[in-house]
Chains A and B, each alone.
Chain A
Amino acid sequence: MTKHPSILPLKIENLEYEAGGKHLVKNINCEFSQGKRYLLLGPNGAGKTLLLRLCHGLLKPKSGKVVWSSGKDINPKHHQAMVTQRPVMLRRSAYANIDYALSIRGVDKALRPDMINAVIQRTGLTRVAHKLATVLSLGEQQRLAIARAWVLKPQVLFMDEPTASLDPPATHSIEELIHEISAEGTTVIMTCHDLGQAKRLATDVLFMFRGRIKEMSSADEFFSGPQNDLAQAFLDGQLIWWKRRPDKDDVQI
């Protein structure tokens, strides 16, 4: 594939998102640079997945901007990919799933087999390459979803809790893949709940709570002593949440 100009840094400016009358993402301002591994941390409902989807263009913000640094000639959509928590598999073989992604990107048919075989080998899917994707185990499906994204050589890879409900060996293999993908220069922006995983993978951490970024810092700084009290409480293993009370302000506990 030809080398394209970078679509990074990605700038998020005053991003807001509302659904069902609820303000779910509020006043997000941040920047994602090339080659890093960003981990979005925070409790359930913090807005991590929403932020990923807004960045990837799957959701439209109420206000604010997602600004890619590419010029007008480049479609940033074609230089990013996403792996979801529950992998969506096309009802065809693992091989054909990857082939479909390449065909959508307009990759020449003659070039595809080598690219597919290479990514299948790197993700350890050789044995199941010609099996129906929907009958693969969850771990295999997740690796296939990563292979399908990786083969596109994305500059940015969004991952929404890619190891949720996987056992330790499967989690380990996914984490190794993430390191390999990152080593090739792809920026990884990923959500997770597992602090251990965040320590193993992150170069930078964004801590979110109730739709806001409470802290954004390097992983070293974050894990050695975050500035934000809630982030510290989260790291200490305290349970942080809030209750909604009718006709009253939300109460933090």
Chain B
Amino acid sequence: MNDLWQAFFKAISLVVTLDDKLLEIVFLSLRLSLSAVGIALFIALPLGAVLALTKFPGRRILVIIINVFMGLPPVVVGLFVYLLLSRSGPFGVFGLLFTPTAMIIAQVILVVPIVTAITRQVLEELHLEYDELLRSLDVPWYRKVTALVWDARFSLTTAALAGFGRAISEVGAVMIVGGNIDHLTRVMTTAIALEARKGDLVMALALGLVLLAVALGINLFAYSITETVKRRHQ
């Protein structure tokens, strides 16, 4: 038990003294996860909107597939991206394997279904509510989409946060496609796994604490913005 407390206090000192190695890993993790979420939003918001507002053959099957993909096993995604990017794979010529870009690709694949599914659900419900008014006002389809996305922005923030949670806490896929290379592709989750395996519980715990703090900080930031905007109208 003493060892645990010792490790805990050492971990806090690493965080407080802004340890170089720790900072490098934290910033790389943030850069990769935020990039992946940004790209995923770019793909998932329009895709979710299309699924929510249009009817086409195969739509229901597509919705089911996307819902199933929310629970994609990260190691399978990692393996899939590995095969695509490996030297003998179709995208091997780009030399992306074991780079941060490969890790972003894997994270995007994991995040897109989550954001798409939540976006579709949120916009579909809001569309049901607004439909008669928007048709009465003869709103063109592109203005419909912008109105729905704007009015659902708080719920869609939750979708983005869920995506970020998936990306920042992911370990299996980024380990396979990133390789956990020091100073290049080592992120918080892969470093925690490595340090724990090495027996360096202090570093592992410090990284774990930072991971929790980062997730908490980003959620608090999003929550406070949402609440401020809501309060302005009450």
Contacts and interface: CB of A to CB of B under 8 A. Distances in A.
A56 to B, nearest CB: 7
B136 interface: yes
A90 B130 contact: yes
A32 B150 CA distance: 38
A58 B150 CA distance: 24
Nearest to A88: B133
Nearest to A56: B136
Nearest to A105: B137
A78 B138 contact: yes
A86 to B, nearest CB: 10
Interface centre among B137, B152, B230 (most CB of A within 10 A): B137
Contacts of B130: 88, 90
Interface string B90-105: 0000000000000000
B234 A132 contact: yes
B151 A90 contact: yes
A105 B143 CA distance: 12
In the complex, which range does the number of interface residues on chain A fall in?
A: 20 to 34
Nearest to A96: B233
A164 to B, nearest CB: 16
A135 B231 CA distance: 12
A75 B138 contact: yes
Given A58-B136, A100-B147, A104-B139, A88 B233 contact: no
B31 interface: no
B129 interface: yes
B132 interface: yes
A82 B139 CA distance: 14
B135 interface: yes
Nearest to B137: A104
Interface of A: 56-58, 75, 77-78, 81-82, 84, 88, 90-93, 100-101, 104-105, 130-132, 135
